[in-house]
Structure 1
Amino acid sequence: MNWFRRCAAIALLASLSACATRPAVVAGGPVTPALPYEVAAEPERYGNAEVIWGGMILAIDNRESTTEVTILGYPLDAAQRPVPAAGTRGRFIIVLPGYVERHDYPDGLFVTLTGRLAGTRAGRVGEHAYVFPLVEAAHVHRWPPGFQFDRPQWHFGVGVGVRL
């Protein structure tokens, strides 16, 4: 009977750990749920708000004392991963201190970041005038290629033990 209790306890712990959610990549406190296009339309409304946004890198521009990374925004899932299948949410620019290598932030890479809104900048997307929200990044998480295909996997196995 003691063996049965041990097995039941192990099975219970294993099933509870399987139900645990994945931790968020970027720990965040209270943030503004606004989307990039909403901030671009009313920048004075959002001021210096904290945001958690994510998306795909479109371009990088090293300036004299900062680096600006243009992002095509996507909504985030519960694990704070960008969801490309959900459609875009506008563009924004991440402002990073100092010089950043293009190799570390290549075009097409997905990121999730926290930061503080730092105003907007008028620019162009092709021939179209566009207003980009600026985000001074506090933390940027770079996702590995193919991350959107990584989903929780279930494995179940039965083993046989031999005691000599």
Structure 2
Amino acid sequence: MDPMRWFFILITAAILHACSSKPVIPAADRSITPLKAASSQPSDSSNLLQWGGVIIETRNLRETTEIQILAYPLDEDGHPDTDANTIGRFIAQQPGYLETVEYAVGRLVTATGKLSEVRQGQVADSPYPFPILDCDEITLWPEHKSRPKPRIRFGFGASSGGGGFGSIGISF
């Protein structure tokens, strides 16, 4: 095969790889929401559940990291739909250390794991039951930075200019 063909294939592959910014999310049960789990802990806690939302707080403990998440429904790609109504709060628990700068307040995550317990906690001054999800995987979604939109303007004009001279202008 000639070198130009290999070059074209490599460039095409690199461009396609650069354009794919969606993480791959494993399949899991999304039918049980954090609110349902908190009100009546399912008897079968061996099912993989998948919840996602916005990070409220990240805490590194001695052996695990706990991420408190305000949950939203997930779309078909597993991305939290923050335009929908919230479906509760939960704590994603991951063994080891997760960098709190990366898992910062306001970032979007999708967590996959098994429900281990429902722990009583506080939201402001109110008691709140937090379902605890022992995570096999936590997907941190890329931050979307707003880019300025290109501004393209077209204009046409004509004028007489007084003393018999006319002008036409074109601008872009």
**What's the TM-score once normalised by structure 1's chain length?**
0.70
Q: What pairs with 1:125-164 in structure 2 (closer than 5 Å)?
A: 125-146=123-144
Give me the identity figure in percent. 34
**Contact 2:23 2:141 (8 Å CA) reproduced:** no
| Greater relative contact order (Cα < 8 A, sep 6+) | 1
Q: Aligned match of 1:85 in 83, 86, 89?
A: 83
**Contact 1:37 1:91 (8 Å CA) reproduced:** yes
What is the Cα deviation at residue 113 of structure 1?
A: 1.9
What is the Cα deviation at residue 124 of structure 1?
A: 0.4
Separation in 2 of the partners of 1:62 and 1:89?
A: 25
Q: CA RMSD of the aligned region, Å?
A: 2.1
| Count of aligned pairs between the two proteins | 126
**What's the TM-score once normalised by structure 2's chain length?**
0.67
What is the Cα deviation at residue 146 of structure 1?
A: 2.4
Q: Aligned match of 1:100 in 98, 101, 106?
A: 98
Q: Aligned match of 2:57 in 38, 56, 59?
A: 59
Say which structure is richer in helix. 1
Determine which structure has more spread, i.e. the larger CA radius of gyration.
2
| CA 1:88–1:46: 2 relative to 1, 3 Å | farther
Partner of 1:120: 118
Partner of 2:47: 49
Q: Which runs of 5+ in 1 are unaligned?
A: 1-22, 150-164
Runs ≥4 in structure 1, deviation > 4 angstroms?
A: none
Output the amino acid matched with 2:59. D
| CA 1:144–1:62: 2 relative to 1, 3 Å | same
**Contact 1:32 1:49 (8 Å CA) reproduced:** no
**Contact 1:48 1:118 (8 Å CA) reproduced:** no
**Cα-to-partner distance string for 1:64-96 (whole Å, 9 max, x where unaligned):** 111100000000111111000001100000001
Separation in 2 of the partners of 1:35 and 1:144?
A: 24
